[in-house]
Chains A and B, each alone.
Chain A
Amino acid sequence: MKIQGKAFVLGDDIDTDQIIPAQHLVYSLENPEEKKFYGRYALSGVPDVQSGLPAGNIPFTREDEFESDFTVIIAGTNFGCGSSREHAPFALQVAGARAVVAETYARIFYRNAVDGGFVVPYETDVKLNDKIKTGDDVVIDRDTGYLFNVTTGDEFQLKGLGDVAEIIDAGGIFEYARLKKMV
């Protein structure tokens, strides 16, 4: 299985208030007419100059749109720090993102991304947010764990997903628990 699309590049310590600012946490996560606003405002809290590196000033979701042009988020350390709002990985998914590739994650974001089945949180041993540019076409091979940058020809091995691969493959904690006859 492959995740393919354009990369959106960010720095370190992207907290959940930057991923989805608190004023937008009022919309229903079920009602389609309301939930699309999570896509509209995903990553809208990132300061403009740090949004879409290295150039900056690139919105993740364009003004008045509800879906992003970007599929894979590339970030530095401690992605998703701050509040426990599950609306954060949810907003990225609603916007159309399918994977995040970061050096490290804050614990609750990582867990929410996995247990809710929203986006696949890959970790890397090396810093990638200075090697990939916003707008580069990238492909992640879920089977081999390689990220291929189509634009530059570079290839990077991502860290294995470990214990949580089973939950991600199932689609989330409930689906996993059903497979295991736990609920």
Chain B
Amino acid sequence: MTLTEKLLARAAGKSLAAPGDNIWVDVDVLLTHDVCGPPAIGIFKKQFGENAKVWDKDKLVIIPDHYIFTKDTYANRNIDILREFAKEQDLPHYYDVGTDRYKGVCHVALPEEGFTRPGEILFGTDSHTCTAGAFGQFATGIGNTDAAFIMGTGKLWVKVPETMKFIFEGEIPSYIMAKDLILQIIGDIGVDGATYRAMEFAGDGVMRMDMEGRMTLTNMVIEAGGKNGVIEPDDVTFNYVRQRTDKELHPLFNSPDAKYHSVRVYKSQDLEPMVAKPHSPDNKATVTEVKGTKLTRAYIGSCTGGKLSDFVAAAKIIDGHQVHVETYVVPATTQIANELYTEKVNGRTLIDIFAGAGCKIGRASCAACLGGPSDTFGRLQSDEICISTTNRNFPGRMGSKAAQVYLASPYTVAASAITGVITDPRDYLPVETTV
């Protein structure tokens, strides 16, 4: 069996699970946030009763992150609903807005807080819940009704997916980031190329990545229609997780006889900096093909492109330059926001580099990645042409449907921010690393 099949089989109490099987699994963690939490809570109460208790309060994690810093009264009311529910249910894992516990983007906060544990089953009311597969967890997005069902029962039915394997052989060139790999893959297989399937990433190119790079890969499997993304856990995984939780781990791995839907092998050395052109994540081009394209904005943030390593990468390029288009920097979590003040590149803190270059720095949240209320920081309000480290560029995703969004790596976004046109990061990285 593949890793995904083994994870689901064990959670269903079975020795075998084959692609296509519909099985009921026990849930280890249910994640929700301020957009989908309130309706899920509404359904839970309607179906299980006003006084019903969640199945296991230690397994429900509520991380408000979407519409936080807004004057929208409905959005603020939704945070109140979460707060009330957490109080009523005495939930230990609620991270309230306006307190020291506030985290920011759930998919990055979840690992920080030790909830992404190899071998476990995670469901979340957000399509990018698949990010946690980087830790060897089965993790996928669900709707409000399914979440309410889990709140009451601790179980959910799933169809066991076939697994597509993507192997990157050899060391990744220094100017290439995980975002380039996943944009290449999505461009190759299309936005529905992995529908109903698991996407597994392997090979020494992947296994040399840190957890944040791996998370960028698994984060965007949903952009190819994938059910879950997964990477076999290794020492990098265990070191990360053990620093954040004392919980006993029960990791699983692929069997030698694992059968795959398909296996694609990439030579890491051949990879190019990539973009996804408007208006689809599979509308791929190499940076070389689109360089010089005029921009009006750059955006560095989100669960896929707002991690500390993303800002370190961007700072390496931006240091010593001014940005020539409006450039928004939005750390995914409070922890990362704090690290901008301590982490240094070339002897300068990241915050000094970004602020000195003229970037606008936002507070930890999903912010303009999904547009949001009209007063959202960085939201595209009209016909902007934006290059972004986020994960989706369908029409209107970052606000106005008149806007155009190019997706790219933090290196490429940073290089483009300082020139105002799409720019190859190799032009701004040290010569010896460009091979």
Counting chain A CB atoms within 10 Å of each CB, the highest count among B143, B196, B227, B372 belongs to B143
Counting chain A CB atoms within 10 Å of each CB, the highest count among B66, B144, B280 belongs to B144
By the criterion CB–CB under 8 Å, are A111 and B373 in contact? no
- Chain A 31-65 against B: per-residue CB contact (8 Å), 1 yes, 0 no? 00010000000000111000000000000000000
Chain A interface size band reads: 35 or more
A-side binding surface: helix, strand, loop or mixed? Answer: loop
Across the interface, name the chain A residue whose C-beta is closest to B195.
Answer: A107
A108-B127 CB under 8 A given contacts A13-B394, A47-B401: yes
By the criterion CB–CB under 8 Å, are A115 and B36 in contact? no
Q: Which 7 A-B pairs have the closest CB atoms?
A: A86-B143, A26-B74, A112-B143, A84-B141, A78-B192, A84-B127, A15-B394
B401: chain A residues at CB < 8 Å are 21, 45, 47
By the criterion CB–CB under 8 Å, are B372 and A22 in contact? yes
- Interface segment out of the listed B97-105, B145-153, B234-242, B355-363: B145-153
A170 at the binding interface (Cβ < 8 Å): no
A22: chain B residues at CB < 8 Å are 35, 66, 370-372, 397
A107-B394 CB under 8 A given contacts A78-B192, A173-B149: no
A27: chain B residues at CB < 8 Å are 74
By the criterion CB–CB under 8 Å, are A115 and B39 in contact? no
B4 at the binding interface (Cβ < 8 Å): no
A47: chain B residues at CB < 8 Å are 395, 401
A34: chain B residues at CB < 8 Å are 74
B142 at the binding interface (Cβ < 8 Å): yes
By the criterion CB–CB under 8 Å, are A46 and B395 in contact? yes
Q: How far in angstroms is the closest Cβ of chain A from B63?
A: 15
B66: chain A residues at CB < 8 Å are 22, 25
**Which of A's residues lie within 8 Å of B, judged by CB?**
13, 15, 17-18, 21-23, 25-30, 34, 45-47, 77-78, 81-87, 104-108, 111-112, 115-116, 163, 172-174, 177, 183
List B residues 50-76 near A (Cβ within 8 Å).
66-67, 72, 74-75
CB-contact partner of A78 in B47, B146, B191, B372, under 8 A: B191
By the criterion CB–CB under 8 Å, are A174 and B371 in contact? no
List B residues 221-256 near A (Cβ within 8 Å).
222, 225, 227
A81 CA to B392 CA, complexed, in Å? 11
A26-B72 CB under 8 A given contacts A47-B401, A112-B145, A173-B145: yes
Other contacts beyond A18-B396, A86-B125: 18, CB < 8 A? A17-B394, A21-B396, A22-B66, A22-B370, A23-B374, A23-B399, A26-B72, A27-B74, A29-B144, A45-B396, A77-B192, A78-B195, A83-B127, A84-B142, A84-B143, A108-B127, A112-B142, A183-B153
B374: chain A residues at CB < 8 Å are 23
Q: How far in angstroms is the closest Cβ of chain A from B229?
A: 13
By the criterion CB–CB under 8 Å, are B39 and A87 in contact? yes
By the criterion CB–CB under 8 Å, are B152 and A115 in contact? no
By the criterion CB–CB under 8 Å, are A81 and B371 in contact? no
CB-contact partner of A82 in B36, B127, B195, B373, under 8 A: B127
Across the interface, name the chain B residue whose C-beta is closest to A178.
Answer: B47
A4 CA to B42 CA, complexed, in Å? 31
CB-contact partner of A107 in B145, B227, B396, under 8 A: B227
CB-contact partner of A84 in B78, B125, B392, under 8 A: B125
A82: chain B residues at CB < 8 Å are 127, 222, 392, 394, 397
Across the interface, name the chain A residue whose C-beta is closest to B38.
Answer: A28
Counting chain A CB atoms within 10 Å of each CB, the highest count among B66, B75, B129, B195 belongs to B195
A85 CA to B33 CA, complexed, in Å? 11
B22 at the binding interface (Cβ < 8 Å): yes
5 contacts between A and B (CB under 8 A): A21-B401, A26-B75, A81-B191, A112-B143, A174-B149
A104 CA to B77 CA, complexed, in Å? 36
- Chain B 372-413 against A: per-residue CB contact (8 Å), 1 yes, 0 no? 111000000000000000001011110101000000000000
Q: How far in angstroms is the closest Cβ of chain A from B100?
A: 26
Q: How far in angstroms is the closest Cβ of chain A from B29?
A: 16
- Chain B 6-24 against A: per-residue CB contact (8 Å), 1 yes, 0 no? 0000000000000000100
A116 CA to B44 CA, complexed, in Å? 12
A177: chain B residues at CB < 8 Å are 149
B80 at the binding interface (Cβ < 8 Å): no
Counting chain B CB atoms within 10 Å of each CB, the highest count among A25, A30, A112 belongs to A25
A85 CA to B126 CA, complexed, in Å? 7
Across the interface, name the chain B residue whose C-beta is closest to A29.
Answer: B39
A165 CA to B370 CA, complexed, in Å? 33
By the criterion CB–CB under 8 Å, are B195 and A21 in contact? no
B196: chain A residues at CB < 8 Å are 107
By the criterion CB–CB under 8 Å, are A172 and B371 in contact? no
A105 CA to B67 CA, complexed, in Å? 28
A29: chain B residues at CB < 8 Å are 39, 42, 144
List B residues 71-103 near A (Cβ within 8 Å).
72, 74-75, 77-78
